[in-house]
Amino acid sequence: MPAPGELTFAVPRGAKKPPRHLADLSPAERREAVAALGEKPFRAKQLSQHYFARFADDPAAWTDIPAAARGRLAEDLLPELMTVVRHASCDDGDTRKTLWKLFDGTLVESVLMRYPDRVTMCISSQAGCGMNCPFCATGQAGLDRNLSTAEIVHQIVAGMRSLRDGEVPGSAGSADAARLSNIVFMGMGEPLANYKRVVGAIRRLTDPEPDGLGLSQRGITVSTVGLVPAMYRFADEGFKCRLAVSLHAPDDELRDTLVPVNTRWKVREVLDAAWHYAEVSGRRISIEYALIRDVNDQAWRADRLGRLLKNHRVHVNLIPLNPTPGSKWTASRPEDERAFVAALEAHGVPVTVRDTRGQEIDGACGQLAAAER
Ligand code: SAH
């Protein structure tokens, strides 16, 4: 029996490990690593300042560190983790998707979305995904490997640097709106199946500068298919992050097919774990529900969902299905979507329909990487 919260999803054998990076390490581990190179421990703080506060991973810019030491420190602690394959923009430049190539050639995606009052970044936690949801492009390709903590963090560091340098001006173009405040783990991968590295990444994102990026936990959303033991373990971390649960069906019969891990943890158990998280964190649970025409969008399913959710600390996010290439499924008819919303509202359950940013740049999970392959 695995310990509670230990997951047994296999990572493909033979996967090489990404190089160790400053962002993989806690502040104490950084001091040890620097000392092991024969450098003064305070260099760890200087490096952290360069990376987390200035996004400067080019050693030429580290003028407070002797030139002779820079190369050694850079090689050991700030190796290149990923390179841009390409960017794709739409929505008047307010949405920019980036396809990254990692050290071993695997591909992952991140998306930056500018809104008038905030910037949200959608990041990947795994290369590929092992959850096999049939409507999701990433699910079709399977799992390549887990991302390291630093590979997760670096997507955000790169996004913040692009914003700072004015590379993503957006339609608004104002500097005020250029601050990254929201991070969603809704790119490739199942974050709770890469538990330790995702938790490490949340610490790096939220530790104050220069130990980390100084972002607010409240602006971070972790989205899960419903890995129940890991949801309880995540509640124990004491974060104030938002938890999103990809439900997609209120009944086990349909959910077994749309979110195959449901054959292991049922709707009831997933929701109980979600309510536990809401209680411990004080945050409303976000329920994700992709509306798929004539599959999960019937009025009776909306009513059943409303009954399951009412009187809980919850908000429903309806996502019009973004069809993956070759899929037999498509988004719901507008009248069915309206009826679905009305049925939830009749139970007093707050609901919004997600705006569909980035459709013309293959915005749905995994589509950019799938096109590249
Ligand atoms: N593995 C995590 C996070 C990644 S996906 C999870 O499943 O929650 C983020 C959200 O996008 C999930 O709710 C997922 O079900 C949804 N999604 C994936 N493909 C989609 C598509 N083609 N159309 C609409 N939503 C999709």
1 has a pLDDT exceeding 70? no
Catalytic: 365?
yes
Catalytic choice (151, 241, 288, 365): 365
Of 288, 322, 328, best ligand 1 pocket probe by most atoms within 8 Å of the beta carbon: 288
Mean pLDDT (whole number) for 320-329: 88
7 has a pLDDT exceeding 50? no
SS3 assignment, position 77: helix
CA distance 225 to 133: 9
How many residues does this entry show for the chain?
A: 373
Mean pLDDT (whole number) for 86-96: 88
- Percentage with pLDDT > 70 across the chain: 89
- Give the pairing of strands 180-185 and 118-122: parallel
Q: Please report the pLDDT score of residue 12 as a whole number.
A: 55
CA distances from 280 to 183, 287, 308 (A): 21, 17, 20
pLDDT band at 197, cuts 50/70/90? very high
Is 122 known to sit in a ligand binding site? Answer: no
370 has a pLDDT exceeding 60? no
Q: Please report the pLDDT score of residue 207 as a whole number.
A: 98
CA distance 191 to 185: 7
CA distances from 314 to 52, 291, 305 (A): 34, 18, 12
| Domain assignments of the chain as residue spans, ordered by start | 22-77, 82-372
90 has a pLDDT exceeding 80? yes
57 has a pLDDT exceeding 60? yes
| 331: DSSP letter | B
If you measure from the C-alpha of residue 65 to the centroid of ligand 1, how many angstroms do you get, rounded to a whole number?
Answer: 44
Mean pLDDT (whole number) for 43-53: 97
* Adjacent-strand bridge partners of 19: none
CA distance 30 to 28: 5
Q: Which option is the CATH number for 22-77: 1.10.150.530, 3.40.50.970, 3.10.450.50, 3.40.50.1820?
A: 1.10.150.530
Nearest atom within ligand 1 for CA of residue 288? 13
Q: How far apart are the first and last CA of the chain?
A: 37
Nearest atom within ligand 1 for CA of residue 129? 1
Closest by Cα among 258, 267, 265 to 227: 265
pLDDT band at 222, cuts 50/70/90? very high
Is 90 known to sit in a ligand binding site? Answer: no
| 71: DSSP letter | H
Of 131, 155, 223, best ligand 1 pocket probe by most atoms within 8 Å of the beta carbon: 223
* Model pTM score: 0.93
Q: Which option is the CATH number for 82-372: 3.40.920.10, 3.10.620.30, 3.20.20.70, 3.30.530.20?
A: 3.20.20.70
pLDDT band at 3, cuts 50/70/90? very low
Contact yes or no for 256/132 (Cβ under 8 A): no
Q: Please report the pLDDT score of residue 140 as a whole number.
A: 85
